[in-house]
């Protein structure tokens, strides 16, 4: 909810805390490592208001070597059929992290998309949908992933269900494809947005953290990215 201004005038900022020790990647939202971390929430939608509006929460932390992300999704009508790396997972019940490792979106951005079964799509975009680089599987395999649902969910789960997805992205993977990466440290900022999508479920939806002012669902609009501020 926005008070006193329209959504497009709000600059979403999320404070990212630092860890001194690595986080075990097991998909457990309630574990001690995440317990005191405040989540951001995906409360904006694209297109018409969806018949099904999942509750999506995300927490982010970092250490000297990696950034950590965990999602908790109170969902329904969950579908997950794509199982090969770089499949168009946005067709499934999927969460997405689009980010520039710095403040200048003109330098490009990564889009990491992952369905609830842990199948990923990972690319670097020099510009929105231009100069697109598909990150090789060998690099993606350095991202540690855990998920609470099976790799394949079919038929669709029509009942309410809560699922989690957690991953660790090593900074070395990002710097391989982004020469001018700003390494997280206190007061460093990255531009980013988080999304939830389910294109081919019985109840499709397009949710965002940072508000996107566009008449049709379109996530490749980095000009609407919010801010991750490291501390």
Domain limits, the chain = 25-230
State the pLDDT at residue 158: 98
The count of other CB atoms within 10 Å of the CB of residue 159 is: 8
Q: Binning pLDDT at 50, 70 and 90, where does residue 7 land?
A: very low
Instruction: Point out which residues pair with 66 in neighbouring strands.
Output: 170
Would you say residue 2 has pLDDT above 80? no
Whether pLDDT at 188 is above 60: yes
Looking only at the bridges linking them, the beta strands covering 206-208 and 44-45 are antiparallel
pLDDT in tens, 112-142: 999 999 999 999 999 876 789 999 999 999 9
1 pLDDT more than 70: no
The closest of 70, 56, 55 to 23, measured between CA atoms, is 70
DSSP 8-state secondary structure symbol assigned to residue 194? E
For the domain bounded by 25-230, which CATH number is listed?
2.60.40.1190
Q: Where are the alpha helices (DSSP H) in 75-128?
A: none
Phi and psi at 157, nearest 5°, equal -80, 110
Q: How far is CA 180 from CA 139, 142, 168, in A?
A: 18, 20, 21
* Percentage of the chain exceeding pLDDT 70: 95
C-alpha count within 13 angstroms, C-beta hemisphere, residue 113: 25
pLDDT band at 10 (very low <50, low <70, confident <90, very high): low
Task: Output DSSP code: residue 223.
Answer: G
pLDDT band for position 218 (cuts 50, 70, 90): very high
The sign of the CA dihedral 227, 144, 126, 57 is negative
3-state secondary structure of 119: coil
Are the beta carbons of 198 and 96 closer than 8 angstroms?
no
Four-point Cα dihedral 185, 186, 188, 191, nearest 10: 100
In this prediction, residues 57-61 reach a mean pLDDT of: 98
pLDDT digits (tens, 9 = 90+) for 83-102: 999 999 999 999 999 999 99
What is the band of 3 on the pLDDT scale with cuts at 50, 70, 90? very low
- For 78, the token pair is 């969950």
The pLDDT value given to residue 130: 75
């Amino acid at each position: 909810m926005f008070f006193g201004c329209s959504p497009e005038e709000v600059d979403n900022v999320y404070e990212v805390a630092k860890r001194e020790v690595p986080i075990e990647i097991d998909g457990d939202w309630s574990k001690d490592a995440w317990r005191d971390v405040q989540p951001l929430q995906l409360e904006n939608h694209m297109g018409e208001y969806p018949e099904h509006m999942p509750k999506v929460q995300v927490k982010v932390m970092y250490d000297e070597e990696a950034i950590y992300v965990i999602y908790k999704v109170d969902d329904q009508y969950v579908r997950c059929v794509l199982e090969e790396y770089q499949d168009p997972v946005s067709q499934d019940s999927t969460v997405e992290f689009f980010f520039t490792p710095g403040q200048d979106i003109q330098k490009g951005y990564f889009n990491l998309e992952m369905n609830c079964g842990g199948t990923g799509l990972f690319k670097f975009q020099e510009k929105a949908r231009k100069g697109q680089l598909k990150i090789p599987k060998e690099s993606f395999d350095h991202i540690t992933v855990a998920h609470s649902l099976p790799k394949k969910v079919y038929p669709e789960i029509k009942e309410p269900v809560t699922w989690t997805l957690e991953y660790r992205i090593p900074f070395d993977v990002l710097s391989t494809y982004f020469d001018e990466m700003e390494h997280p440290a206190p007061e460093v900022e990255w531009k980013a947005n988080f999304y939830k999508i389910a294109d081919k479920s019985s109840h499709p939806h397009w949710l965002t953290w940072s508000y996107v002012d566009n008449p049709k669902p379109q996530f490749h609009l980095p000009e609407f990215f919010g801010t991750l501020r490291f501390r």
